[in-house]
A = this chain, B = another copy of it.
């Protein structure tokens, strides 16, 4: 069954939420510490996150934005802040739904299940800005165009997307793609960079892969 992660600091509400989902048969986990919640959530790799806004430390808004840039599970915001501007802000950050407390358990369940169903179709996607990469098939979607990359091109783009907005060093790429940086001709990386750039060009993504002389490569993605 699907894994749901509850990120809520009020202990009573948290237990109630866990109960609500557990009764429906979901495997539920929650945050044990709000010192570094990001890592804990990513490591848990849930199918859905239910997120409060008013948290100790990093706010739910920040967390939402941070997670959306890295992970591909849906985020449902559940908060007592019921103003329209909060809702608009959350949706703008990429939140997938926005419910206000108090919320009827049936509504919460129904909304959560809708998200799980929708995202069941889009598993294994990495999204950065307008760009989407399917890591099973290396299909790249951008605006209304798409192209299917070869295996090597796709693996390179995957590394670049995972490092974004940082650069990926030549060493990292050589190790990730060819197992070692020793005894591997750096030319193989250059050749495949050319190939990747050509493929991305074909759907209008010119100059997306930028060279950082002496260090590596970096993506330049226009924000949505």
Q: Report A165 CB to chain B, min CB distance, Å.
A: 20
Decide if A10 is an interface residue (CB 8 Å cutoff). no
A28–B111 Cα gap in the complex (Å)?
27
Copies of this chain present in the complex amount to: 2
Secondary structure of the A contact surface, majority rule: mixed
The 8 A CB mask of A159-192 against B (1 = contact, 0 = none) is 0000000000000000000000000000000000
Flag the segment in A15-23, A38-46, A58-66, A132-140 that touches B.
A132-140
* Nearest CB in chain B: distance from A25 CB, A: 15
Q: Which residues of B contact A137 (CB under 8 A)?
A: 134, 136-137, 139, 148
Chain B residues closer than 8 Å to A123, beta-carbon distance: 141, 146
Which residue of chain B has the shortest Cβ distance to A110 in the bound complex? B91
Is A104 at the interface (CB under 8 A from chain B)? Answer: yes
B104 touches A84 (CB 8 A): yes
Q: Does A96 contact B (CB under 8 A)?
A: yes
CB-defined contacts of A114 to chain B, threshold 8 Å? 91, 95-96
Asked if B84 and A106 sit within 8 Å, CB to CB, the answer is yes
Residue from A113, A124, A132, A136 with most neighbouring chain B CB atoms (10 Å)? A136
A92 within 8 A of B: yes
Which of B87, B117, B136 contacts A224 (CB under 8 A)?
Answer: B117
Which residue of chain B lies nearest to A74 when distances are taken between CB atoms in the complex? B118
The answer for the CA separation of A106 and B88 in the assembled complex, in Å, is 8
> For the complex, what is the distance from the CA of A145 to the CA of B127, rounded to whole Å?
21
Cβ distance A47 to chain B, nearest Cβ, rounded Å: 9
